[in-house]
A and B are shown apart, each in its own frame.
Chain A
């Protein structure tokens, strides 16, 4: 009690410093942000334009949504999924199948709602099955590594490893290429999902349970919040986020293939690793129980910003991947050093 009163009597500057002392990682991230931003303004042409900023947020939106889904998994102490891009690819294939052929019935061909629901259902099923195995006591990394191979195999088998096309005037255009109030729909979805996820984590029972189970599995078990149901729910949330990204991406490209999200996706190599990188660069504890989706969103925008700057400077994909890799390793080491002796240790 006395500490609170003392804290209230402190002058504003001291309070500000205290705030930053408690949030060292956030401070580091924000200052890196600022450095990058100023560097970009002075040394990169065409950086400070509205179009460029829209492009940055649009880039960030695609892996940001997946990363927000993954944050739930990470916060609940289940590390991460290695099957993100495979889940996305099989959902994308499902959606494109629905748009192109209507799953065999010509009446449903091009029906946006049915295709969307089918894609989300595939995401839910894959999330529930993987979550079940993890909840039973399997290691998340190994289970999802196996799940990745199976999902990719099924997706490629189903689509015969071909590109599935559907023609341009279709019902999903508003999601893929449409925009609202000057921002693309995918960016709006990113913002809405980020806000919703933050509210769910901070102000609902479920969100607090996620933190509890992640911070201390034994305590969670003792108070009746077992990891079994938690694993299933968070894996489902993550897979549904992947499915949504896949639907938006496929709606933009008017086509789908089983390896759309593989190695050459975007700029920084592998989609799965990029999403995991986003969660880590944001400064979430990979051991669980510490972090937020706000950090993840900031991480996504940060990675997109650095990547965008390197593109504008004319770098090839090699240096860009090195850049993102260095960011991950740096943030891990900084986080590890700051959390030494408390959280990072089991």
Chain B
């Protein structure tokens, strides 16, 4: 426990994330009577199932020093595939196919990025449009719907008061990915190519393996989020789910990742996603229009960016100051030595 507290206080961004999420939660808990109740907690965890996954996907990519913009399209494609195939094949098989398609897309992206050595934003802007078009093609420009809306009931049944099978699975994924990133060689490679790519490559880490793993994980998470959304609502659109990119980015950045890569973790992603969830769920009670939700989410993002940039500038200034101070010290000590030598 002591270790844990020490770790959190040492990591400025993580403690800022916890503080921010606490502030948002307390604000809504004070202003809205029912916010602090079992049902709302269940609702928050249900949303967490979707947003947490997208936040996790982006967190992994940003840790690897890249950003995956195609996440919304990937989720939409997976949702369309799953909803379309649930009728003829049944939900489990459809989910399997959808998830393997989005994981495969992630693998391909990671391979292309590592092979050509371009930045991920460049290629993922292209795949954003391509995957959207493919999703539209598969859906035949219509909204795909389930014929039997009772089929996906199994993912929304309440378990243990707060959880549903969807949110339990997502928490399980979080734990697995957290262990993978922290305690395996492959996870640490992702941190290495994000934090200091040149050094990592010189030290003999292949670029291809961690990049493919990172993007495969991100594709899998995006696909899973799409699956959950698609099955829950029973419908899917080719042009939908583009808002996931903003929400996921906010979650990842609130969680303390740095755009320079190599920083952040799964715990931060979970806290970030919860913060965004608190905000979204709280705003529901004010019966605001959709654009206000977007506005407030973006304001949250800007607050976090400003904080991060300020702390980075402050750090570099501090480092410069301490460097100058040491130089001064050395100079004075040298002068004194000279003086004493002359005095003698």
Interface residues of B in 195-240 (CB under 8 A from A): 238-239
A332 touches which of B122, B131, B292, B299 (Cβ 8 Å): B122
Closest chain-A Cβ to B195's Cβ sits at a distance in Å of: 15
Contact across chains for A150 and B141 when beta carbons are under 8 A apart: no
Measured between C-beta atoms, what is the minimum distance from A163 to chain B in Å?
15
Which stretch of A103-111, A130-138, A188-196, A218-226 is in the interface? A130-138
Q: Name the residue on B nearest A264 (C-beta).
A: B239
CA distance A142 to B126 in the complex (A): 18
Most buried by B among A146, A268, A286: A146
User: Which residues, 297 to 346 on A, are CB-close (under 8 Å) to B?
Assistant: 316-326, 328-329, 332-333, 336-337, 340, 344-345
Query: For residue A345, which residues in chain B have a CB less than 8 angstroms away from its CB?
Result: 117
User: Which of B9-17, B26-34, B89-97, B132-140 lines the interface with chain A?
Assistant: B132-140
Determine the distance from Cα of A143 to Cα of B299 in the docked complex, in whole angstroms: 11
Residue pair B295, A333 in contact (C-beta under 8 Å): no
Judged by a CB distance under 8 angstroms, whether A231 is at the interface is no
A149, A273, A319: residue with the most chain B Cβ atoms closer than 10 Å: A149
- Chain B residue at minimal CB-CB distance from A341: B117
Partner of A329, one of B126, B291, B296, B313: B126
User: Which chain B positions have C-beta within 8 A of A340?
Assistant: 116-117
Residues of chain A lying within 8 A (CB to CB) of residue B305: 133, 138, 142-143, 146
Q: How far is the CA of A323 from the CA of B126 in the complex (A)?
A: 11
B317 to chain A, nearest CB (A): 12
Q: How far is the CA of A79 from the CA of B312 in the complex (A)?
A: 21
Residues of chain A within 8 A (CB-CB) of B306 are 133
Partner of A325, one of B118, B119, B126, B294: B126
In Å, the complex CA distance between A57 and B123 comes to 27
Shortest CB distance A160–B (Å): 9
Q: List, in ascending order, chain A residues with CB within 8 A of B117's CB.
A: 336, 340, 344-345
Residues of B within 8 A of A320 (CB): 133
A276 partner, pick from B112, B125, B134, B141, beta carbons under 8 A: B125
Q: Which residues of B contact A139 (CB under 8 A)?
A: 259
Residue of A at shortest CB range from B134? A322
Contact check, B118 vs A138: say whether CB atoms are below 8 A apart: no
Contacts of A27 in B (CB 8 A): none
Residues of A within 8 Å of B, CB-based: how many? 55
Of all chain A residues, which has the CB nearest B249? A145
Report how far A320 CA is from B309 CA in the complex, Å: 40
Inter-chain residue pair count (beta carbon < 8 A): 161
Q: Is A316's CB under 8 angstroms from B141's CB? A: yes
Size of the chain B interface, CB-CB below 8 angstroms:
50
Say whether A294 faces chain B, with CB atoms less than 8 Å apart: no
Q: Is B128 an interface residue (CB 8 A)?
A: yes
Contacts of A177 in B (CB 8 A): none
If A138-B305, A263-B242, A269-B239 touch, does A153 touch B298 (CB 8 Å cutoff)? yes
In the assembled complex, the Cα of A322 lies from the Cα of B297 at a distance in Å of 31
Counting CB contacts under 8 A, is B167 at the interface? no
Residues in B239-282 with C-beta less than 8 Å from chain A: 239, 242, 245-246, 249-250, 253, 259
The contact of B126 among A150, A277, A337, by CB within 8 Å, is: A277
| Contact (A156, B291) CB under 8 Å given A137-B313, A145-B245, A332-B123 | yes
Fill in one digit per residue for A268-281: 1 if any B CB lies within 8 Å of its CB, else 0: 11100110110010
Q: Judging by beta carbons under 8 Å apart, are B238 and A318 in contact?
A: yes
Closest to A319 in B: B137
Beta-carbon contacts under 8 Å, A78-101 to B = 79-80
Are the CB atoms of A145 and B246 closer together than 8 Å? yes
Complex: chain A residue closest to B253, CB-CB: A142
Chain B residues contacting A319 (CB-CB under 8 Å) are: 133, 137
Q: Verify if A291 is at the interface (C-beta below 8 Å from B).
A: no
Contacts of B239 in A (CB 8 A): 263-264, 269
Residues from chain B with a CB closer than 8 A to the CB of A277 are: 125-126, 129
Asked whether A150 and B133 contact (CB < 8 A) given A156-B291, A345-B117, the answer is no
- Name A316's closest neighbour in chain B (CB-CB): B141
**Residues of the B chain whose Cβ atoms lie less than 8 Å from the Cβ of A112:** none
Instruction: Name the residue in B121, B140, B238 with the highest tally of chain A Cβ atoms < 10 Å from its Cβ.
Output: B121
Residues of A within 8 A of B250 (CB): 146
Is there a chain B Cβ closer than 8 Å to A161's Cβ? yes
Query: C-beta contact mask, A148-174 vs B, less than 8 Å → 1, else 0?
Result: 111011101100010000000000000
B240, closest chain A residue (CB): A263
Closest to B297 in A: A149
B67-A286 in contact (CB<8A)? no
- Any B CB within 8 A of the CB of A232: no
> Do the beta carbons of B294 and A149 come within 8 Å of each other?
yes
**What A residues does B312 contact at CB under 8 A?**
137
Q: Assuming the A-B contacts A143-B305, A326-B130, are A332 and B121 also in contact, with contact meaning beta carbons closer than 8 angstroms in the complex? A: no
**B127 adjacent to A150 (CB under 8 Å):** no
Docked Cα-Cα span, A268 to B122, in Å, equals: 18
Bound complex: CA A324 to CA B127 (Å):
10
Report the bound CA distance from A75 to B188 in whole Å.
Answer: 34
Q: How far is the CB of A21 from chain B (nearest CB, A)?
A: 21
Verify if B82 is at the interface (C-beta below 8 Å from A). no
Q: Is A238 an interface residue (CB 8 A)?
A: no
By a CB distance below 8 angstroms, the chain B residues around A344 are 116-118
A149→B301 contact, CB < 8 A: yes
Across the two chains, which residue of chain B brings its CB closest to A82? Answer: B69
Residue on B nearest A325 in the bound complex, by CB: B130
The answer to the question of A68 belonging to the interface, with a C-beta cut-off of 8 Å to chain B, is: no
Docked complex Cα distance between A261 and B301 (Å): 23
* Complex: A319 Cα to B131 Cα, angstroms: 11
Do A325 and B132 touch across chains, with their CB atoms under 8 A apart? yes
**Proximity bits, A225-247, B CB within 8 Å = 1, else 0:** 00000000000000000000000
User: A264 CA to B302 CA in the complex, in Å?
Assistant: 28
Please name the residue on chain B nearest to A279 by beta carbon.
Answer: B125
Q: Which residue of A has the minimal Cβ distance to B135?
A: A318
B280 to chain A, nearest CB (A): 13
CB-CB nearest in chain B for A323: B133
Highest count of chain A CB atoms <10 Å: which of B141, B238, B302: B302
Q: List 6 A-B contacts (CB under 8 A).
A: A139-B259, A142-B253, A149-B297, A156-B289, A325-B129, A337-B116
Smallest CB-CB A-B distances: 7 pairs:
A153-B295, A149-B298, A325-B130, A321-B133, A322-B133, A318-B136, A156-B291
